[in-house]
Copies of this chain bind each other. A is one copy, B any other.
């Protein structure tokens, strides 16, 4: 059975001690969503082989069609993602000739030579393929395991985003569900979220394909501000737009009826990567 699920793993102590904001996960989540995948979980683990391997295994158990990890691919002792993945898949970690050549060329071009630390980055699980890194030196790893396409990327955002866009996006476009994703965003002032809740329900009842989420931004018992974010996904573009515009007009009427102040932050539109 295949799913449209995607899981994101963010690996590195720096996330778990709160040293950095996990912007990689947000960036990837947005891309995968716009490709039609349903991101089911984002999990951050420490630089620990057992814990990271378990996170990979869990993502596989969920029958994720796509698993993307970031972090832990560098030359230092605590870069353990390749090892964690090998353990999760029960595969030996082997020197990839292709990865080795990628690394060798990078350093050679810079007049630098191979060292054990640099060579370490060429070890990937048996049968996996290295992913070219146009910015840094650590190759990524791609492996298909059962129904899951697993992409392992380095943590530095410039490297991660370049590799995602150059190497992964073309493959994801091929395996992505034929799903389009549309949305609009309203900001409503002067109606407490709890009073607006029945309208949210009514909108979803009337337009059965959409999902409405209200995000309180102000003070429920003072100046209430709610962002109303409406999304819709499906195979039929026209139907999505019909649903979105229907819900859009219905919500605008509802806000007027209740005496709220309305601002259209984003009109209904379909976004597709």
Which residues of chain B are near A195, meaning CB under 8 Å? 115, 117
- B44 touching A18 by the CB < 8 A rule? no
Which residues of chain B are near A201, meaning CB under 8 Å? 76-77
Select from chain B the residue with minimum beta-carbon distance to A214. B76
Number of copies of this kind of chain in the complex: 2
When chains A and B are docked, how far (Å) is the Cα of A194 from the Cα of B115?
8
- B41 touching A42 by the CB < 8 A rule? no
- B-contacting residues, A20-49, CB 8 Å: 20-23, 25-33, 39-47
Is A192 an interface position by the 8 A CB rule? yes
Which residues of chain B are near A43, meaning CB under 8 Å? 41-44
- A17 touching B41 by the CB < 8 A rule? no
Is A78 an interface position by the 8 A CB rule? yes
When chains A and B are docked, how far (Å) is the Cα of A107 from the Cα of B192?
10
Select from chain B the residue with minimum beta-carbon distance to A119. B194
Asked if A76 meets B41 with Cβ closer than 8 Å, knowing A20-B26, A213-B14, the reply is: no
What per-residue 1/0 map shows which CB atoms of A1-18 lie under 8 Å from chain B? 000000000100111111
6 smallest beta-carbon distances between A and B, as pairs: A18-B30, A18-B29, A110-B221, A75-B194, A42-B44, A117-B197
Given contacts A15-B42, A40-B46, A117-B194, 10 further A-B contacts (CB under 8 A): A16-B41, A16-B42, A18-B25, A21-B21, A74-B194, A75-B193, A109-B221, A117-B198, A136-B219, A137-B220
